[in-house]
């Protein structure tokens, strides 16, 4: 089986490349510098050369604040580019797995979002990602959309690594206490995708189980790395984000669990991350 992975330089892309390369798959990975998914010509050239069975699109413009100021780029990468991939996937009778986000919802709910809940994005990032979903659902013949959130993995650009770096410099760190989600280990998402990719279609939510605030997440990170840095709770209003963040990003893995797949609790996953990835990479 031949698999193309776009956005392979990101943390989920890296986890997928690592997992599938260790299995009986032919993996063709592309970073954003190696494949511009906004170029129909580049996509066509790559697909014709490889003739893939599955494409996993991890490429996205995820910088929430920058999406608000570079709206055209956000809609091009997050909205139109997935459609280009889906169109070419149809020509090759290939399956497209598209990675999406909790930001397609308003974040104002107080119970976990199911796959069937009505999207209502409040940011350009969320709106552009929803456009990508909608175009694919209307036009892609063999499609799996995986929504996830609060990802961390073997990559510097995530909350875990940010907290670790700050703890080396500061005696205390202020972290918001009124935004809730499910911290999710990229390896666990990759394993779930592997279980779903052959015969499942539609929209699936995939996160580690349980929920916490960013404040609680940071506290657990400090505990696991044995740091004495104090985590101080602060409200979202006092933090003054440039772009409002969802106050509630918890996703309900209803469809995933109907398949008999239940991702472990976020604390257990975080502990494994430090043991298997962080410590091993430091050796």
- Nearest C-alpha neighbor of 132 from the set 90, 84, 89, 94: 84
As a 3-state breakdown, the chain gives helix, strand, coil percent values, each rounded to 5, of 45, 20, 35
Q: What is the distance between the alpha carbons of residues 181 and 251, in angstroms, rounded to a whole number?
A: 8
Q: What is the distance between the alpha carbons of residues 28 and 165, in angstroms, rounded to a whole number?
A: 32
SS3 265: strand
Give bridge partners of residue 43 from the DSSP assignment. Answer: none
Q: What is the distance between the alpha carbons of residues 31 and 14, in angstroms, rounded to a whole number?
A: 10
Please check whether residue 117 is in contact with residue 102, taking contact to mean a CB–CB distance below 8 angstroms: no
Please check whether residue 261 is in contact with residue 192, taking contact to mean a CB–CB distance below 8 angstroms: yes
Q: Is 125 a catalytic residue?
A: yes
Catalytic residue among 84, 125, 204, 248: 125
Q: What is the distance between the alpha carbons of residues 143 and 145, in angstroms, rounded to a whole number?
A: 7
The Cα angle at residue 4 between residues 11 and 194, in degrees rounded to 5:
65
Give bridge partners of residue 205 from the DSSP assignment. Answer: 147
Number of separate helices (H) and strands (E) present in the chain = 13, 12
Q: What is the distance between the alpha carbons of residues 190 and 12, in angstroms, rounded to a whole number?
A: 7
Q: What is the distance between the alpha carbons of residues 96 and 254, in angstroms, rounded to a whole number?
A: 21
Catalytic residues: 125
């Amino acid at each position: 089986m031949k698999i193309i992975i776009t956005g392979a330089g990101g943390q989920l892309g890296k986890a997928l490349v690592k997992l599938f390369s260790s299995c009986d798959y032919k993996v063709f990975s592309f970073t954003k510098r190696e494949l511009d998914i906004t170029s129909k010509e580049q996509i066509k050239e790559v697909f014709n050369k490889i003739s893939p069975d599955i494409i996993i699109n991890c490429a996205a413009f995820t910088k929430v604040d920058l999406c608000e100021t570079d709206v055209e780029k956000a809609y091009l990468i997050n909205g139109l580019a997935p459609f280009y991939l889906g169109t070419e996937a149809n020509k090759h009778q290939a399956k497209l797995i598209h990675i999406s986000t909790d930001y397609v919802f308003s974040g104002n709910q107080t119970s976990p979002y199911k796959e069937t809940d009505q999207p209502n994005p409040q940011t350009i990032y969320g709106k552009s990602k929803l456009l990508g979903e909608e175009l694919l659902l209307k036009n892609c013949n063999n499609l799996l959309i995986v929504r996830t959130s609060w990802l961390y993995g073997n990559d510097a650009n995530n909350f875990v690594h940010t907290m670790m770096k700050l703890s080396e410099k500061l005696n205390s760190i202020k972290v918001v206490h009124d935004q809730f989600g499910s911290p999710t280990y990229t390896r666990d998402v990759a394993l779930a995708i592997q279980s779903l990719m052959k015969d499942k279609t539609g929209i699936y939510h995939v996160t580690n189980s349980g929920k916490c605030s960013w404040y609680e997440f940071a506290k657990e990170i400090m505990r696991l790395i044995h740091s004495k840095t104090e985590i101080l709770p602060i409200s979202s209003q006092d933090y003054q984000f440039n772009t409002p963040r969802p106050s509630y990003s918890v996703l309900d893995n209803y469809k995933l669990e109907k398949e008999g797949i239940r991702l472990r609790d976020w604390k257990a996953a975080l502990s494994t991350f430090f043991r298997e990835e962080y410590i091993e990479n430091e050796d």
